[in-house]
């Protein structure tokens, strides 16, 4: 296999692209505790040699973990409606959802070495999911006040998804499975 860039150059580019996700236009693809790198794109479309007004292709290409990639994803959305047409607002959140689902499939471990996200208004906040296993539903709900909770059964929590210790957006859904 032929090398096209040096290890040093590859490391610098991966670092820069992780910074795009942690502190730049790709911030909507950020997953706390997992190193994500990526780049947003916004391209105004052309027809008959003229730029179309309000008609864009928005995109995000990303990879994870940023220090040793195991997955690469590319999302492109043609002429999104009802939103600001930028790669960071349209395609990056979609990529984040796919990458979140890849974490257990790839068996990726939580990594505290990644970059911390710098929050700016109106960014959503992340919260770490607490372990509520063994708790009665009412007690579990108190600990999960920052999230939407769906549950099945009655009694004590026997399983939760996503697992405890993962950081997710405020208001995202956590599913609880209770003993009958």
Mean pLDDT of 150-172: 88
What is the per-residue pLDDT for 120?
64
What is the per-residue pLDDT for 121?
61
Is beta strand 37-47 parallel, antiparallel or unpaired with respect to 157-161?
Answer: unpaired
Q: What's the mean pLDDT when you consider all of the chain?
A: 90
Q: What domains lie within the chain, and their CATH numbers? A: 7-106 (3.40.710.10), 126-178 (3.30.10.20)
What is the per-residue pLDDT for 102?
94
Q: Which helix (H) or strand (E) holds 107?
A: none
Q: Is the pLDDT confidence value at 125 over 90? A: no
Higher-pLDDT residue of 113 and 132 is 132
Mean pLDDT of 140-168: 90
What is the per-residue pLDDT for 1?
81
Least confident of 12-16, 125-129, 147-151, 161-165: 125-129
Q: What is the largest CA-CA distance in the chain?
A: 65
Strand order in the sheet with 50-64: 37-47, 50-64, 71-78
Which residues, in sequence order, are CB contacts of 26 under 8 Å at separation 6+? 20, 36, 38, 39, 40, 60, 62, 87, 88, 92
What is the per-residue pLDDT for 12?
95
Least confident of 51-65, 84-98, 105-119: 105-119
The rounded distance, in Å, linking the Cα atoms of 38 and 20 is: 6
């Amino acid at each position: 296999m032929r090398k096209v860039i040096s290890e040093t150059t590859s490391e610098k580019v991966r670092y820069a692209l992780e910074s795009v996700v942690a502190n730049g236009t790709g911030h909507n693809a950020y997953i706390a505790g997992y190193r994500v790198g990526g780049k947003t794109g916004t391209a105004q479309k052309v027809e008959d040699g003229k730029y179309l007004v309000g008609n864009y292709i928005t995109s995000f290409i990303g990879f994870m973990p940023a220090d040793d990639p195991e997955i690469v994803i590319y999302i492109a959305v043609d002429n999104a409606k009802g939103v600001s047409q930028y790669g960071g607002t349209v395609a990056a959140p979609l990529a984040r959802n796919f990458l979140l689902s890849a974490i257990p499939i790839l068996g990726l471990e939580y990594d505290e070495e990644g970059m911390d996200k710098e929050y700016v208004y109106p960014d959503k906040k992340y919260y770490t999911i607490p372990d509520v296993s063994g708790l009665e539903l009412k007690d579990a709900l108190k600990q999960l006040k920052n999230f939407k909770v769906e549950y099945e059964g009655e009694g004590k929590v026997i399983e939760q998804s996503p697992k405890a210790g993962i950081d997710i957006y405020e208001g995202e859904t956590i599913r609880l499975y209770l003993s009958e």
